Structure formats: structure tokens, C-alpha cells
């Protein structure tokens, strides 16, 4: 039986909270050059890093093609089923005179995945190739001596993942938008970093290496804040700006991941609980941002009215999402279709 990593759940919970806060600010037209930049630099890269970390923890289970296919079956249900089911829901629950053909919309969304739950499709693509490369690495080191397997496994993995990344780059440069290769190019590095860190961090840093990591954490925090204050992290007009943005995302994601992961145990219970429902919250919360009409009021973040609007929006999103999640969970078929959750004898062990 798998034992959940509550620290990892806590990081997921923290990540979805900052996603919600980002929508409270951005979708209410309260764009801020500091808070908004910091949130956008971290939110999706952090999710990718967490997902990669989870894969790295269980990579030794992918030993043959059967293991690989079994893992992919689970992720088709977890990622692709909700991706397409929400296209159907949104298409059908429009005003009567604007109802769209869900099959046609499902085809269209493949060429513009950001019109749907793009993160799920991007995560599926990245993990598919990462697991495939992992399988090849596991098979490739099978005949090596145990003492040398770690190094050779990492070498094969990096070579394979590098070729996959080049594939995504060429895919995007060819002008194709099918399955959103540009998203894979942007977020795959964070997934891979999380993957490698989950298994090799103990080999790179010995038992007393935590002090070194906390020093790196402090340096990363200062550097991240400096980049947030000194640069526009939402501009990607040239390669230098893209590199600055990626650097800020890497530093900020490490600060949040390592900091939240090592919070005192009692401080993580609430975040870990929220982390069990990140996909559900991700699919629902932003649909309630505009209910109160704050976006047309010209509010500013650093005012009393702006902060109240952010708080109220966050509470409304949380309550509405929570109510829907609660009732959907009572119907196993809806839970499967909308959230990709398969009911088992031990549900908590499957929520990963």
C-alpha cells in the first residue's frame, strides 16, 4: 500500500492557493508589477516541479513496457478525461442560443489547449515522455553493476530528456499549435528538475547537507525578490527576458517547494488537505471570479477596497468550489468524468 507524502501534498496545497490569489488579482483587473509577477513566475512551474518530484519517487516501478502502459492508463484517466470532459461541460452549459457542438470543440481545443484546462494536457505530454525515457534508462542500466547504475541511469535519462526537449522546440518552431508544444517547452525543465531532485538529492547532498540547502534557499529567496523588483517577469520579447523569467521561476519554485516541504508538521495539515483536491480546485475556482463584478471597478491592489475585493473573491471561489466538489464526490461517475478519480478501497492512497 502506498503511503502519501503529506509534505508533497502541502506543497500542492500551497501552489493552488497562489494560483487562486493570482486569479483574484489578475481577473479583477488589478494587475500589479510585483505580486502578480511573483505569482505568475511561480504558480505553474511549482506544480510541474511537484509533479516531477512525484514521478522520481516511484520511477523504479517502471521496469518494462507493461509498467509503462499501466502508468499511462492511470494518467489518461487522471489528466485527459477531465481535460476533455470540461470542454463538453462548457460547450453544453452555455445560453441556449450559443450552445456549441462539444465534439467540434474537443477537436478545436487540441490546437488551442489554453482555451481548456491546458495544464492537464501539458502535464500528460511531459510525463509521457519522461516516463518513456525513464523506462529506457531503467532497461539500459539493468546489466550494469549496482555501484554504477545511478550515474549511468542519470546519464541516459538526461540524454533522452534532452532529445525530447529538442523535439518539443522543433515542434513549436514549425508553427504547429497541436497539443501546445510551446507550453511543454516552457514547463518541462521544471518537471525534470523535480524528477531528478526527488531521487538524487540525497546522493548530491549527504545527511549534513541540509545546512547547505538552507543556505541555497536563503540566497535563492533574495535573488528571486531582486528579479521580481528589478524586471518585468511577464515580458518575453527576446531571449534574455525569457531567460530572466525562467531563472526567476526556478528560484521562486525552489524557495516555495523546499520551504513549504520543510514546514513544521502541524503547520502543514491544512495545506496537505487542500493538496488532495488540487485538480478539482484547478478545474473549478476561476469560473467564479467574475460573480461579484469587481473587475469593472478599477480597483488597486494596495488599497483597502482592493484588498477586501481580493479577500471576498477568494472566499467566494473557495466556497463555491468546495460545495461543487463535495456533491460531485458523492457520485462516483461524476467524480470519474470531471476529476479523473477512480474509486478504490483506499481512496486516499489514490489521490496523487
Q: State the alpha helices, DSSP H only, in 32-180.
A: 35-57, 65-75, 81-92, 102-109, 118-140, 146-173
The confidence score (pLDDT) of residue 3 equals: 66
All three cell numbers of 316: 467566494
Sequence-separated (6 or more) residues with CB below 8 Å from residue 148: 141
The confidence score (pLDDT) of residue 153 equals: 75
**Dist CA 5 CA 103 (whole Å):** 38
Beta strand extents in 204-317 (DSSP E only): none
**Dist CA 29 CA 92 (whole Å):** 28
pLDDT in tens, 16-41: 999 999 999 988 888 788 898 899 99
**Dist CA 210 CA 85 (whole Å):** 44
Closest CA to 44 of 310, 335, 278: 278
- Residue 139 has a CB neighbour count (10 Å cut-off) of 14
The confidence score (pLDDT) of residue 349 equals: 43
pLDDT tier for residue 256 given thresholds of 50, 70 and 90: very high
Q: What is the DSSP letter of 342?
A: P
All three cell numbers of 160: 533522452
- CA-based diameter of the chain, in Å? 67
Closest CA to 271 of 4, 3, 12: 12
**Dist CA 42 CA 54 (whole Å):** 18
The confidence score (pLDDT) of residue 1 equals: 47
**Dist CA 101 CA 99 (whole Å):** 7
All three cell numbers of 342: 477512480
**Dist CA 264 CA 274 (whole Å):** 17
The kind and range of the H/E element at 16 are helix 6-26
Residue 75 confidence (pLDDT) above 80: yes
Residue 207 confidence (pLDDT) above 80: no
pLDDT tier for residue 351 given thresholds of 50, 70 and 90: very low
The confidence score (pLDDT) of residue 342 equals: 86
**Dist CA 25 CA 40 (whole Å):** 11
Contact between residue 75 and residue 124 where contact means Cβ atoms under 8 Å apart: yes
Sequence-separated (6 or more) residues with CB below 8 Å from residue 337: 81, 82, 85
Residues 288-307: what's their mean pLDDT? 88
Mean pLDDT of the residues in the chain: 86
Sequence-separated (6 or more) residues with CB below 8 Å from residue 192: 52, 130, 161
Amino acid at each position: 500500500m502506498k503511503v502519501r507524502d503529506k509534505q508533497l501534498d502541502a506543497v500542492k496545497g500551497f501552489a493552488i492557493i497562489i494560483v487562486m490569489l493570482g486569479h483574484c488579482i489578475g481577473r479583477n483587473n488589478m494587475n500589479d508589477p510585483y505580486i502578480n509577477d511573483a505569482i505568475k513566475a511561480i504558480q505553474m512551474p511549482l506544480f510541474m516541479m511537484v509533479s516531477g518530484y512525484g514521478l522520481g519517487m516511484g520511477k523504479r516501478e517502471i521496469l518494462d513496457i507493461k509498467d509503462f502502459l499501466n502508468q499511462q492508463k492511470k494518467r489518461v484517466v487522471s489528466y485527459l478525461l477531465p481535460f476533455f470532459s470540461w470542454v463538453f461541460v462548457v460547450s453544453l452549459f452555455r445560453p441556449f442560443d450559443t450552445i456549441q457542438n462539444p465534439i467540434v470543440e474537443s477537436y478545436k481545443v487540441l490546437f488551442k489547449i489554453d482555451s481548456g484546462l491546458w495544464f492537464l494536457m501539458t502535464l500528460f505530454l511531459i510525463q509521457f515522455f519522461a516516463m518513456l525515457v525513464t523506462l529506457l534508462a531503467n532497461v539500459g542500466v539493468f546489466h550494469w553493476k549496482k555501484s554504477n547504475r545511478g550515474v549511468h541511469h542519470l546519464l541516459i535519462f538526461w540524454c533522452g530528456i534532452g532529445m525530447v526537449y529538442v523535439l518539443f522546440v522543433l515542434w513549436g518552431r514549425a508553427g504547429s499549435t497541436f497539443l501546445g508544444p510551446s507550453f511543454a517547452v516552457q514547463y518541462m525543465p521544471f518537471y525534470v528538475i523535480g524528477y531528478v531532485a526527488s531521487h538524487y538529492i540525497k546522493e548530491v547532498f549527504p545527511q549534513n547537507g541540509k545546512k547547505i540547502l538552507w543556505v541555497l534557499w536563503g540566497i535563492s529567496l533574495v535573488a528571486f525578490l531582486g528579479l521580481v523588483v528589478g524586471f518585468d517577469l511577464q515580458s518575453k520579447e527576446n531571449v534574455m527576458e525569457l531567460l530572466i523569467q525562467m531563472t526567476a521561476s526556478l528560484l521562486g519554485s525552489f524557495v516555495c517547494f523546499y520551504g513549504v516541504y520543510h514546514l513544521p508538521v502541524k503547520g502543514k495539515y491544512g495545506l496537505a488537505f487542500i493538496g488532495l483536491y488540487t485538480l478539482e480546485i484547478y478545474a473549478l475556482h476561476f469560473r467564479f471570479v467574475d460573480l461579484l463584478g469587481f473587475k469593472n471597478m478599477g480597483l488597486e491592489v494596495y488599497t483597502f477596497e482592493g484588498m477586501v475585493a481580493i479577500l471576498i473573491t477568494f472566499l467566494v471561489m473557495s466556497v463555491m468550489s468546495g460545495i461543487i466538489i463535495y456533491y460531485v464526490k458523492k457520485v462516483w461517475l461524476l467524480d470519474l468524468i470531471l476529476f479523473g478519480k477512480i474509486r478504490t478501497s483506499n481512496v486516499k492512497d489514490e489521490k496523487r
